[in-house]
Amino acid sequence: MIIAGLFEVIGVIGVKKVSEKNNFWNNVRLIGSFIISFQYLSMALQEIQLSTAYAIWTGIGTLGSAIIGIIFIHEPKNFLRICCIIGMILTVISLKVVS
């Protein structure tokens, strides 16, 4: 799940890069990383329930994208946004624990 989520983050970065400059390598990053992400998600679904796997996968993607946005793209970072990120981390962990 972690690898699938990390490749989803790379895919989302690819979406941002393609929106800035639509070229071959940005499209390779976008499409390739989502293909790898789906492959790992598919493997995880053999062991984890669909609802749990999807929530964890999208949670990792959302959190990773938010953190990358704050650190590298200079998106706003404020107390409430950081609290929401922490809340999402706790929610994803809790969902895995109870599954």
pLDDT for 52 equals: 86
Q: What is the DSSP string of 61-82?
A: HHHHHHHHHHHHS-----HHHH
Percent of the chain at pLDDT > 90 equals 70
For residue 15, the enclosing domain spans 2-98
**27-64 pLDDT tens trace:** 999 999 999 999 999 999 999 889 889 988 998 999 99
| pLDDT greater than 80 at residue 99 | no
For the chain, what is the domain count? 1
